[in-house]
């Protein structure tokens, strides 16, 4: 935030412009400008608003608050809260009325305040509206209270600030840009600081960045040499350096700036910065200069809001609500026309005792008013309680995920966490899963497994016949007892490598020397000989540990030196430069000078980049090492190439000068540095390669197999080599030897990639006996009508594509070809992909496929993919918690994904769909009675029910039973959900709640309303009381219809409930009891005595419900409403059961047979001979067992065992969905769909 952060309007003229020309920058002093304007006020004639540009650079001068205040930078006070005591009510109400539903009900409330329009009291709308607004307001207020509490806790932390030559205690909120503050060990960093000096030698300090990136390992930061000696407070008080740097941004790993001091300038980088949120560790004290404060800090810049995600059911509900509103208007128009006609034809005859209101002067105007009256009466077809109920149900589902002990990792003590409550039902509709490999499918715990040194491969153990020994057949691991500093946890089985080290092989020594020098690991020695390495990545830790065990022990480092114990001898290397790793370079280098004075560059990196930078003098070594790399990658190992280069003093001096100039550049500094690094990292000498094993997580193959059976397509997007990714694909059963073919796309040009994709499609079509490739037309189709050939091709295929090929495949003119080819395959693996490409692949599927996507990963490189997908899942693993912070759901192991989707996701989808179907049904049944009554009351907008019943129907009488069903219901137990993954498919096909199901619910509701009105109306027309008087009166009719309605909807929800709990019983029967209690209370003498004008009909309920005719009417209405539903469901179960019906039936059979088995076993004890076979097997499972498929994984076998139609209907619907998304283009398409 600069001086011009808010727009100022200054009164200036051309003469004044000359006064302002001397202003140095846009960050000039506002006071000076104002004084200049005041002094020349006689020249003021026009108003010119000055719109400031965004801050282009940040200037901060040490120990000079007056200078820094000119720029009006943000204070260090943070504010994440939204409200205060004065603004809460207006702001919160304004936010809530941004919701269309709330605005709609406010409009209805205003209508109800017009006497000529409303036939209902205002409280019938205001009570539920206020209740909903109050519940939401309390939730928002609670959330904001905790935000206030957190803000106050942080803002009131104490910090030591150097003011007027002495350290003074100041609250964090009072720290300003340019202040010098002192930090002590284990303290949080108050703002983004330039490190000036510390208690450690050379201005080093150690920090933990867990709050920034989730990584708990220590990182090192270093003050620039010119300020590292300012350890004395008196010197710091005289320090007046000025920092000129980049404006505030959210890039945690980048910083570019320059320090101007003593007529010199010094480059600043991220290594010199301490960011807010970090914690000082293992450093007694340090001093820093505040560069960014408060909202300008990188921590706060990264706290932006994540894109709000909505489910497909939310989007459908919005559409349906609009349709319902249109239906409501149509009903209002029909009844308004009826009112106008009735008043014109009939109503005029009753003007003597039914005169029009004063404002009504015609039948047409009466119809107009009647329209608005019926809009009010019929508004309950869209009850406001719907939205609150949906949020309550989602909240309950989220708690079930959080409380699931089977998704709790005891080792890490990490539970599953639903970080959002809006996406639960979409977990039951996932069709595509995009997964990272490292840390997601694998453990991300790296083990040094093999290596290639100077053309010789180490790591394999052979038996006496020369065959590779398996893990269980291997001899004892290598004995490292000769090395007192060895890590006892490190295991290696090839003793020839240790022998080569002991024999002094120069290539082997140089290999491990490189591993001990070329890294950014920090060493900590708590006790003599007990070394603890803190590595930024598990790979680096594994490589440095390997060098440690083989005699090259990294012992310690300073900013300018690295000390290594080489075979027991301490050797200190002068560290001249670190060329750090990044995702573009994919390599890192160090330049060191050994004790003999020789300068050498050591480099390690990805083979795709490093092999091109080698000197061409050793082609044989390059060929052999490449073969080893391919062999290692084929075994699923992660590989790196090692190389070195000798530099002479003259060349290094010139290169170091070019590097310094690049580091001082104000613009394009990173590009210039990359160019300088590229220059020195060339013509290197190949040394060898390393291979690190990253084992699969437990349960990954079983999870992938189960999700595949649920028709979920799994795509792996990884940055690893193709061979490594393919091997992992086989290990986790994504790829199998039974597959028809695995297509590998490795083209380097657009034409090559297009040709490889075309050949893959041709092979798939040929295998399906199709004429031609069938895709020439599809490639011209619009994305909205993209054809899926997933069900059309015969056989199982897989696609493997490299990153450079994927870059071409994602271009606009080829993305549809790639997508169709990939979707026709059972498994897809994308290798060597960048984080951006991961997000692009997910976006491609989201854009062209009407399918729900889920992305799962564990690292910062997965964040973009996680945010792009419909649902993002973060794995809390070894790479910090960036992925978790960006995710919608998180847990610690990939295997929990099957439970999240197949149990929680499926149940959430089922519950939400049943809730919505029943909710719309009960409200149409309730509301449409008014519509029918309108034809019998002269379209006068008279209500059937008592106004208190209208108010309480949705918020008391019917709210809790439907909530209980929405929260607790389940069709089959969780074990069966996992056992039969085909149960998941109805959610993918959106079968349980769609437009068709909606219209069925509406039709049922209208049918119920017709019976609810006309059966009591017909009975009351002729019925009499016990004393012979006429039974028909308005209040008795209202009580009868209302009682029938409550009983019918209660019985209906009992039929809809598939899983009964004590809560369901309590809510359903309790709601009925509450209805009768309130009904009798409202017609009691007590309320009449207190409110005679409100409760006039004393004893009406008691008198009405005392008549046998009324109860016969209620019974008849209930039976006629419910019996068609019961009959239909009985026939459906008998003729065309769902797969869930089949599973429930099978479960019931199993229970009965187990009970029979136990009974027969008890009887059988009296006999000396019996056959256990007859009672321990069920008829019909022999074929399943003989099929060779595990029962747990083959839900299709169960479906065919019980009824073949239960799976065929899903398959036919899937084909129908596929066909509806395509349009016939040519005859070549027809064979695809046969």
Averaged pLDDT, 470-478: 63
Averaged pLDDT, 966-978: 90
| Helix count and strand count (H, E) for the chain | 45, 35
Lowest mean pLDDT among 31-35, 569-573, 741-745: 31-35
Lowest mean pLDDT among 95-99, 546-550, 747-751: 95-99
Nearest-5° Cα angle at 623, 620 to 624: 85
At 1000 the pLDDT is 94
Cα within 13 Å of Cα(601), Cβ side: 30
At 997 the pLDDT is 92
Averaged pLDDT, 307-330: 83
* DSSP state for residue 156 in the 8-state scheme: T
High-pLDDT (> 90) share of the chain, %: 35
Model confidence at 1224, pLDDT cuts 50, 70, 90, reads very low
Residue 261 has pLDDT above 50, yes or no: yes
What the block records as the tokens of 705 is: 């197999």
Angstrom distance (rounded) from CA 432 to CA 819: 13
Q: In Å, how far are 1, 10, 14, 29 from 34, measured between CA atoms?
A: 20, 8, 16, 9
Strand residues in 758-851 grouped as ranges (E): 797-801, 827-830
**Which residues have a Cβ under 8 Å from the Cβ of 525 and sit 6 or more positions away?**
531, 532, 555, 556
Q: Max alpha carbon distance in the chain (Å)?
A: 123
Describe the strand order of the beta sheet including 442-453 as a list of residue ranges: 456-458, 442-453, 685-696, 637-647, 599-605, 587-593, 569-579, 561-566, 552-557
Residue 796 has pLDDT above 80, yes or no: yes
Residue 327 has pLDDT above 70, yes or no: yes
To the nearest whole number, what is the mean pLDDT of the chain? 80
Model confidence at 1188, pLDDT cuts 50, 70, 90, reads very low
At 783 the pLDDT is 37
Residue 1072 has pLDDT above 90, yes or no: yes
Cβ 1040 vs Cβ 1112: under 8 Å: no
Strand residues in 152-305 grouped as ranges (E): 158-163, 166-171, 180-184, 192-198, 204-208, 218-222, 242-245, 257-261, 264-268, 273-274, 279-281, 285-292
Q: Quick one: residue 832, left, alpha or beta (phi over 0 = left, psi -120 to 50 = alpha)? A: left
At 572 the pLDDT is 94
At 119 the pLDDT is 66
At 781 the pLDDT is 40
Averaged pLDDT, 1059-1082: 93
Higher confidence at residue 855 or residue 862?
855
Cβ 942 vs Cβ 1156: under 8 Å: no
Residue 404 has pLDDT above 50, yes or no: yes
* DSSP state for residue 859 in the 8-state scheme: S
Q: CA nearest 194: which of 304, 29, 55, 58?
A: 58
Element (H, E) at 1071: helix 1062-1082
At 1181 the pLDDT is 32
**Which residues have a Cβ under 8 Å from the Cβ of 1030 and sit 6 or more positions away?**
1024
Higher confidence at residue 204 or residue 861?
204
Model confidence at 40, pLDDT cuts 50, 70, 90, reads very low
Model confidence at 488, pLDDT cuts 50, 70, 90, reads confident
Averaged pLDDT, 877-901: 82
Averaged pLDDT, 608-625: 88
Residue bearing tokens 């801050």 = 55
Most confident among 59-68, 795-804, 1139-1148 (mean pLDDT) = 59-68
Averaged pLDDT, 944-958: 88
Model confidence at 1192, pLDDT cuts 50, 70, 90, reads very low
Angstrom distance (rounded) from CA 857 to CA 859: 6
Angstrom distance (rounded) from CA 792 to CA 789: 5
At 468 the pLDDT is 65
Which residues face 588 on adjacent strands? Answer: 604
Residue 462 has pLDDT above 60, yes or no: yes
Nearest-5° Cα angle at 585, 811 to 564: 155
**Which residues have a Cβ under 8 Å from the Cβ of 36 and sit 6 or more positions away?**
16, 19, 20
At 775 the pLDDT is 41
Model confidence at 1178, pLDDT cuts 50, 70, 90, reads very low
Averaged pLDDT, 231-238: 88
Task: Report pLDDT digits (tens) over 342-371.
Answer: 888 887 777 777 777 776 778 888 888 889
Angstrom distance (rounded) from CA 724 to CA 639: 9
**Rg, C-alpha atoms of the chain:** 38
Residue 1198 has pLDDT above 70, yes or no: no
At 1114 the pLDDT is 95
Q: Which residues are designated catalytic?
A: 436
Residue 1103 has pLDDT above 80, yes or no: yes
0.95 exceeded by pTM: no
What's the length of the chain? 1234
Averaged pLDDT, 258-279: 90
Residue 41 has pLDDT above 70, yes or no: no
At 11 the pLDDT is 29
Residue 858 has pLDDT above 90, yes or no: no
At 1101 the pLDDT is 87
Averaged pLDDT, 39-62: 56
């Amino acid at each position: 935030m600069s001086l011009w952060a808010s727009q100022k309007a200054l009164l200036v003229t051309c003469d004044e412009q000359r006064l302002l020309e001397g202003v140095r920058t846009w960050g000039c002093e506002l006071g000076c400008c104002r004084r200049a304007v005041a002094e020349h006020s006689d020249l003021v004639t026009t108003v010119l608003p000055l719109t400031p540009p965004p801050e282009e650079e940040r200037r901060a001068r040490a120990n000079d608050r007056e200078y820094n205040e000119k720029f009006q930078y943000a204070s260090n006070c943070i504010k994440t809260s939204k409200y205060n005591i004065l603004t809460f009510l207006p702001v919160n109400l304004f936010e809530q009325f941004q919701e269309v539903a709330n605005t709609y009900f406010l409009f209805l409330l205003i209508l109800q305040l017009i006497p000529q329009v409303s036939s209902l009291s205002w409280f019938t709308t205001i009570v539920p509206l206020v209740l909903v607004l109050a519940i939401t307001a309390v939730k928002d207020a609670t959330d904001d209270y905790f935000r206030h509490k957190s803000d106050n806790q942080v803002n009131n932390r104490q910090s030591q600030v150097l003011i007027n030559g002495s350290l003074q205690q100041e609250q964090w909120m009072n720290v300003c840009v340019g202040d010098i503050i002192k930090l002590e060990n284990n303290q949080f960093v108050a703002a983004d600081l330039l490190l000036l000096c510390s208690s450690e030698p050379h201005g080093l300090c150690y920090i933990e960045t867990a709050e920034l990136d989730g990584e708990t390992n220590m990182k090192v930061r270093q003050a620039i040499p010119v300020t590292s000696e300012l350890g004395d407070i008196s010197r710091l008080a005289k320090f007046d350096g000025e920092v000129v740097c980049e404006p505030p941004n959210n890039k945690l790993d980048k910083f570019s700036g320059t320090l101007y001091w003593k007529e010199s300038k010094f480059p600043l980088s991220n290594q010199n910065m301490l960011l807010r949120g970090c914690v000082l560790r293992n450093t007694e004290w340090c001093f820093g200069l505040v560069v960014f404060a408060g909202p300008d800090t990188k921590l706060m810049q990264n706290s932006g809001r994540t894109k709000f995600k909505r489910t497909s059911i939310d989007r459908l509900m919005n559409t349906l609500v609009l349709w319902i509103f249109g239906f409501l208007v149509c009903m209002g128009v029909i009844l308004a026309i009826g009112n106008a006609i009735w008043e014109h034809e009939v109503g005029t005859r009753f003007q003597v005792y039914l005169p029009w209101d004063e404002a009504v002067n015609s039948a047409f105007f009466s119809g107009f008013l009647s329209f608005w009256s019926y809009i009010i009466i019929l508004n309950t077809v869209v009850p406001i309680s719907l939205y609150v109920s949906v949020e309550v149900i989602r909240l309950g589902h989220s708690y079930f995920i959080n409380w699931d002990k089977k998704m709790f990792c005891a080792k890490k003590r990490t539970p599953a966490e639903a970080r959002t409550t809006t996406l639960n039902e979409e977990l039951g509709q996932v069709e595509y899963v995009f997964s990272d490999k490292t840390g997601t499918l694998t453990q991300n715990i790296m083990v040094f497994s093999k290596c290639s040194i100077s053309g010789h491969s180490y790591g394999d153990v052979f038996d006496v016949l020369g065959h590779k020994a398996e893990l269980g057949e291997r001899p004892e691991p290598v004995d490292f007892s000769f090395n007192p500093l060895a890590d006892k946890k490190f295991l290696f089985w090839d003793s020839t490598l240790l022998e080569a080290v002991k024999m002094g092989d120069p290539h082997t020594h140089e290999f491990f020397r490189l591993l001990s020098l070329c890294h950014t690991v920090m060493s900590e020695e708590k006790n003599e000989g007990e070394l603890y390495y803190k590595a930024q990545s598990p790979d680096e830790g594994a490589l440095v540990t390997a060098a440690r065990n083989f005699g090259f022990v990294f012992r310690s480092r300073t900013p300018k030196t690295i000390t290594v114990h080489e075979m027991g001898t301490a050797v200190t290397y002068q560290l001249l430069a670190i060329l750090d790793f990044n995702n573009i370079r994919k390599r890192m280098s160090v330049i060191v000078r050994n004790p003999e004075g020789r300068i050498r560059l050591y480099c390690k990196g990805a083979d795709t980049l490093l092999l091109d930078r080698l000197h061409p003098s050793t082609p044989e070594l390059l060929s052999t090492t490449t073969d080893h790399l391919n062999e290692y990658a084929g075994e699923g190992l992660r590989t790196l190439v090692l190389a070195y280069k000798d530099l002479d003093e003259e060349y290094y001096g010139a290169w170091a000068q070019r590097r310094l100039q690049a580091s001082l550049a104000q613009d394009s500094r990173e590009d210039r540095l990359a160019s300088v690094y590229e220059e020195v990292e060339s013509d290197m000498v190949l040394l060898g390669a390393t291979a690190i094993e990253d084992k699969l997580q437990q349960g990954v193959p079983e999870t992938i197999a189960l999700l595949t059976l649920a028709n979920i397509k799994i795509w792996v997007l990884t940055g690893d080599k193709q061979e490594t990714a393919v091997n992992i694909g086989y290990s986790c059963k994504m790829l199998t030897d039974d597959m028809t073919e695995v297509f590998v796309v490795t083209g380097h040009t657009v034409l090559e990639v297009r040709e490889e994709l075309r050949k893959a499609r041709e092979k798939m079509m040929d295998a399906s006996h199709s004429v031609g490739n069938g895709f020439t037309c599809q490639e011209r189709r619009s994305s909205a009508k993209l054809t899926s050939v997933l069900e059309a091709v015969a056989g199982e295929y897989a696609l493997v594509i490299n990153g450079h090929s994927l870059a071409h495949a994602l271009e606009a003119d080829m993305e549809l070809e790639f997508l169709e080819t990939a979707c026709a395959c059972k498994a897809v693996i994308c290798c060597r992909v960048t984080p951006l490409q991961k997000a692009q692949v997910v976006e491609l599927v989201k854009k062209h496929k009407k399918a729900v996507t889920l992305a799962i990963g564990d690292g910062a490189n997965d964040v973009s993919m996680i945010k792009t997908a419909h649902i993002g899942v973060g794995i809390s693993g070894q790479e910090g918690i960036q992925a978790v912070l960006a995710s919608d759901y998180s847990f610690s192991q990939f295997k929990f994904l099957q439970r999240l989707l197949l149990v929680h996701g499926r149940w959430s989808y089922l519950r939400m769909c049943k809730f919505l179907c029943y909710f719309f049904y009960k409200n149409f049944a309730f509301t449409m009675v008014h519509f029918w009554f309108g034809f019998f009351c002269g379209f006068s907008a008279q209500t059937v029910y008592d106004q208190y019943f209208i108010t309480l129907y949705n918020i008391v009488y019917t709210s809790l039973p439907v909530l209980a069903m929405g929260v607790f219901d389940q069709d089959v137990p969780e074990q069966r959900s996992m056992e039969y993954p085909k149960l998941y498919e109805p959610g993918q096909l959106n079968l349980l709640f769609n437009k068709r199901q909606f219209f069925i619910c509406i039709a049922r509701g209208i049918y119920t309303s017709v019976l609810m009105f006309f059966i009591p109306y017909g009975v009351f027309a002729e019925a009499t009381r016990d004393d012979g008087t006429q039974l028909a009166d308005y209040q008795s009719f209202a009580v009868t219809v209302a009682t029938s309605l409550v009983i019918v909807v209660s019985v209906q929800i009992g039929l809809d409930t598939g899983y009964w709990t004590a809560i369901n019983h309590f809510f359903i029967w309790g709601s009925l009891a509450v209805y009768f209690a309130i009904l009798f209370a409202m017609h009691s003498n007590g309320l009449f005595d207190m409110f005679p004008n409100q409760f006039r009909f004393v004893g009406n309920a008691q008198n009405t419900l005392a008549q046998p005719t009324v109860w016969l009417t209620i019974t008849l209405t209930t039976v006629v409403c419910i019996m068609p539903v019961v009959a239909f469901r009985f026939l459906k179960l008998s003729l065309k059961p769902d797969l869930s019906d089949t599973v429930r039936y099978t479960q019931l059979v199993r229970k009965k047979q187990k009970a029979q088995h136990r009974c027969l076993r008890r009887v059988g004890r009296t006999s000396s001979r019996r056959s256990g076979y007859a009672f321990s097997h069920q008829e019909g499972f022999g074929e399943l067992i003989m099929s060779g498929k595990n029962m747990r994984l083959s839900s299709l076998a169960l479906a065919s065992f019980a009824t073949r139609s239960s799976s065929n209907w899903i398959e036919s619907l899937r084909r129908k969905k596929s066909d509806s998304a395509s349009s016939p283009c040519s005859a070549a398409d027809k064979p695809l769909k046969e």
